[in-house]
Chains A and B, each alone.
Chain A
């Protein structure tokens, strides 16, 4: 299964607030980030990866083209996905997150694993059972990864701290 990074353009954040941006004193709690895919042929989005910076909840809306004749419409893929369980503390504040396209909803996942889509059935997903060849290739990929880790050299330390018997040092470095 080949997964390719899709070139995208991430626009700056825009605050959502009522009233005049300049005069209001409060800080908006909702920001919008537009992500566009400039010159790419239609593709199927598998995974979104990002590093959080103090965002508590995330919603994702996607505008997709279904066919040539109907106009593109906005679909909500994710609504209020919790990134920080307690927004006033540091938990999850700077974590790396991956969101996957997945069919089977499940009970609990570690933070960075897939999130089952809540109420709205996103139009992105296919109908019916997952494609068996895709499932088996995903499993194969994971096993390849585990074998790779297993094959890499062991963690035994030899115990030498000197270089060829010499430990005559300068001063400590600051870099």
Chain B
């Protein structure tokens, strides 16, 4: 009993410490002071009366949402003897692999720097600052010469690193044995099988209404849709994060989605948040970073070429350039296996007082990074709100898609989950694809790394991301990837090369994700 209490008080202490630095804390303080004027607050029962006031005025709910948010994001407190690296990633060999991968990225960035003779960071002269400020809302019209820049890495480079991951304590041997995994991923992480996934994703079951299935034109709205919308409005009126997260497992009505996601992510645009965003914008104006060119190049190569997202090009710069300068993102590295790159002020190499992180947020964008932001532009049009939502999505979910870790939502686990599902439930297809040299992961990897952004139609993508938020897990990406293969299995059985397999799976824009997921999980004969 004692240990349970002490564990709980440790969690409480950690959350209190985190919230004490937040806007909410100062707001609650102000509200408490202001409430002293109210007639119902009596000195004899001060504490109880203020608590009651908080409950009635909705402030208690805001606090609950903040606590729920912290619990969703922050891992449980670890053993007192565990060093900070252990919280980032418990397995030593994965930490080492991540470290080597990072070193490669840094070398690549450094060589780009020296080859092109462009500094990592440069203070803009006044004239240039003014020009950029004027052009802030139409940075897309700029056509800088980006031909010399190349993305630091692409998903397929990252895949090669994951394929070569080995646990030194796991006897694999070079020759194939019953212990070798038949897929590309060779590390023995624990992944769920279909019975476990069914338990986990129970709200996606056949007898439960879903948006993405039961709101199609053939289904009368009285059967499910109307009631679901009504419940959604109620959830929003209550402003309860936990309820919203539960609700959205069945999908979000389009009209309510922006507010629901903000509620789940506990984002409420306060004046302080708008000010913070403006401060970031000022940082962009003042300093030019090498990563800015990488961002420009990425947007030009990916989002600008996409039929759905090219209209949002300017928004993407406004979000991503500010994101690079946001030091508050650094705090997520406590539970990210990755570490922010370090540098020193010129001439002060090795002096710790002159050590800085580069870029300021510690995240180096890769090819396709802007696609994490693009779908959000459909929901949020106010730049600071769009920015906050993206940042929260990144530090909760997206960072796991491009760092090496053993976390169940990490990309390594997702890859293994995908391969295991395919191998177990579509063994003939898996075997055939392997035989023709078309390892399935080589095709599905890019989908998962981008959380399917740019591959699915936008409305389908948003329905998928509803479930990511609802279940607070990225495992659904692996399940969908397997479901797509299952759907196109007949065609895939007939191909005889990797290129042909890629062609069968090149266009996912017509797919409806919810029926695919439901059939794969609940209606496939095993």
- The reply to whether A171 and B113 contact each other, CB–CB distance below 8 Å, is yes
- The reply to whether B356 and A169 contact each other, CB–CB distance below 8 Å, is yes
Interface residues of B in 93-123 (CB under 8 A from A): 103, 106-107, 109-110, 113-114, 119-123
Once bound together, how far apart are the Cα atoms of A51 and B76, in whole Å?
18
Q: Which of B9, B91, B109, B276 interacts with A143 by CB under 8 Å? A: B9
Chain B 341-367, CB within 8 Å of chain A: the 1/0 string? Answer: 111111101000110111010000000
Once bound together, how far apart are the Cα atoms of A174 and B110, in whole Å?
10
- The reply to whether B2 and A135 contact each other, CB–CB distance below 8 Å, is yes
Which of chain A's residues has its CB closest to B22's CB? A156
Task: Mark the stretch among A9-17, A37-45, A82-90, A121-129 that contacts chain B.
Answer: A82-90
Once bound together, how far apart are the Cα atoms of A135 and B1, in whole Å?
11
Task: Mark the stretch among B13-21, B55-63, B256-264, B424-432 that contacts chain A.
Answer: B13-21
Q: Which of A51, A96, A114 interacts with B3 by CB under 8 Å? A: A114
Which of chain A's residues has its CB closest to B2's CB? A138
Q: Does A170 count as interface, using CB distance less than 8 angstroms?
A: yes
- The reply to whether B188 and A90 contact each other, CB–CB distance below 8 Å, is yes
Once bound together, how far apart are the Cα atoms of A87 and B78, in whole Å?
21
Q: Does B90 count as interface, using CB distance less than 8 angstroms?
A: yes
Known pairs A49-B81, A161-B283, A172-B109; A150 contacts B21 (CB<8 A): no
Task: Mark the stretch among A18-26, A60-68, A73-81, A98-106 that contacts chain B.
Answer: A98-106
Once bound together, how far apart are the Cα atoms of A72 and B107, in whole Å?
62
- The reply to whether A172 and B21 contact each other, CB–CB distance below 8 Å, is no
Kindly list chain A residues whose C-beta atoms are within 8 Å of the C-beta of B341.
172-173
Which of chain B's residues has its CB closest to A112's CB? B79
**Among A100, A110, A114, A172: residue with most chain B CB under 10 A:** A172
- The reply to whether B9 and A89 contact each other, CB–CB distance below 8 Å, is no
Q: How large is the interface on B (under 10, 10 to 19, 20 to 34, 35 or more residues)?
A: 35 or more
- The reply to whether B342 and A169 contact each other, CB–CB distance below 8 Å, is no
- The reply to whether A89 and B120 contact each other, CB–CB distance below 8 Å, is no
Kindly list chain A residues whose C-beta atoms are within 8 Å of the C-beta of B279.
159
- The reply to whether A157 and B78 contact each other, CB–CB distance below 8 Å, is no
Kindly list chain A residues whose C-beta atoms are within 8 Å of the C-beta of B76.
110
- A sample of 28 cross-chain residue pairs with beta-carbon separation below 8 angstroms, ordered by A number, consists of A93-B90, A94-B90, A95-B79, A102-B3, A104-B1, A109-B3, A112-B79, A113-B3, A114-B3, A135-B2, A142-B9, A145-B10, A145-B13, A146-B9, A149-B14, A152-B17, A154-B20, A154-B21, A155-B20, A157-B331, A163-B354, A169-B121, A169-B344, A169-B346, A170-B345, A170-B347, A171-B113, A171-B120
Taking A90-B190, A170-B343, A173-B106 as known contacts, 4 extra A-B pairs with beta carbons closer than 8 A to each other, sorted by chain A number, are: A106-B1, A161-B356, A170-B344, A171-B343
